[in-house]
Structure 1
Amino acid sequence: MQVPALIVIDMQQGMASPAAGQRNNPQAEDNMARLLEAWRAAGAPVVHVRHVSRTPGSPFWPGQAGAEFQPRFEPLPHAHVVEKNVPDCFINTGLERWLHVRGITQLVMVGVSTNNSVEASARTAGNLGFATQVVADATFAFAKRDYAGHPRSADEVHWMALANLDGEYAQVVRTEEALAALEGSLRQTALDRMFGAR
């Protein structure tokens, strides 16, 4: 049984700014940190994704403080870092090849925002054949108006994005389920090695 890779999406300082707007899931960062700690403790693969804007003046423009990782999510020296210019972390980044070279077929995605980079990345992951989980309480979204001009709360945006993904491109889970699955995969991997399973 394979250990999945944890994909931490866009946990940059610009996402913590009040200027980003009204958001949901205030516990999301704590849950992300729990997952990151568990993956690191297990020696399991971790990928940190950083958005680098091509729009001058953006808080994610290279060299701006907003483009830097939040301290809790600063990559360790051996972690793989992906820099992207569009919401989807697979586009023009080499991430798909990096995963395939290591035989990784299972992904657990956390980060921000649920309806933008997380949803875009999970859709592509599913279409590429990766068994993908998105952790509902380790992601968050921002309030916005829908196409008809109606204001939608951050919760509404978040849950609709997850509904778009679940059962189509990914499986939506909670932090405790992701942690339990990691523990189960580690146990099975250890048994496979012990008994020489291939």
Structure 2
Amino acid sequence: MNPFSSAPALMILDMQKGFDDPYWGKRNNAHAENNTFRLLTEWRKRNWPIFFSKHLSLDPQSPLYHKNDQGIQIKDLLAPKAGEKVFTKNVNSAFIDTELEIHLRQRGIKSVVITGLSTQHCVSTTTRMSGNLGFVTYLVSDAIAAFEITDHQGTVHPPETVQELELAALHKEFAVMMTADQVINRLT
């Protein structure tokens, strides 16, 4: 019996090949894609709603995410199957200038389970908007990953710290934090 209020949508954000490029620097959570795949497998078995997003830069000089670049392709392990909706976006949030919210509302979906890349960009922004739009939002902490960042003073912050602080900021205010195991255990 599913303890979620109804079949939640699985959202797989920007799990694109471009994030494998050294351009991004150090990354945490090397298992994010595998944990996402475990969830994707469970959702497919149950025939529950699955939504993907992918980032497409409007800038033809973008080194990784322009329409003619391999970087925009979703990673092979997580490639969408026929009938699984992919929303192409040009900003961090999967809700802005896409029909994601419309699809969720039309299907009566009240809760979402979020996975993807990167924690400090699309994952954080989409999670915040999901919570603000009134969806019960679950963020899968081991099915997302952060990259190191350099702040305005030139200090480099390791990806583990970025992840920890992003999750702390999102916790309770915008989403319920869960691991992939916790999500799967709630499904059985």
Structure 2 length-normalised TM:
0.94
1:112 aligns with 2:117: yes
Whether the 8 Å CA contact 1:4–1:182 is kept in 2: the answer is: no
Higher helix share: 1
Match of 2:44 in 1: 40
User: Quick one: distance in 1 between partners of 2:158 and 2:146?
Assistant: 9
Q: Secondary structure at the match of 1:54?
A: coil
Percentage of identical aligned residues: 36
1:4 aligns with 2:26: no
Question: Post-superposition shift, 1:75?
Answer: 0.6
Question: Post-superposition shift, 1:149?
Answer: 2.8
User: Quick one: distance in 2 between partners of 1:135 and 1:95?
Assistant: 19
Q: How many residues are aligned here? A: 183
Question: Post-superposition shift, 1:172?
Answer: 1.0
Q: Secondary structure at the match of 2:23?
A: helix
Match of 1:70 in 2: 75
Q: Deviations over 1:151-188 (max 9, x none)?
A: 100000111111110000111111111112233xxxxx
Question: Post-superposition shift, 1:35?
Answer: 0.7
Whether the 8 Å CA contact 1:114–1:140 is kept in 2: the answer is: yes
Give the AA of the match of 1:153. P
> Structure 1: which 5+ residue stretches go unaligned?
184-198
Equivalences for residues 1-198 of structure 1 within 5 A: 1-58=5-62, 59-183=64-188
Structure 1 length-normalised TM:
0.89
Q: Deviations over 1:67-125 (max 9, x none)?
A: 11111111101101111100000001011111000000100000100011000000000
User: Quick one: distance in 1 between partners of 2:28 and 2:91?
Assistant: 23
Question: Post-superposition shift, 1:20?
Answer: 2.0
Give the AA of the match of 1:142. F
Q: Deviations over 1:4-32 (max 9, x none)?
A: 00000001110112222110001111111
Give the AA of the match of 1:164. A
Pairwise CA RMSD: 1.0
Give the AA of the match of 1:151. V
Question: Post-superposition shift, 1:127?
Answer: 0.3
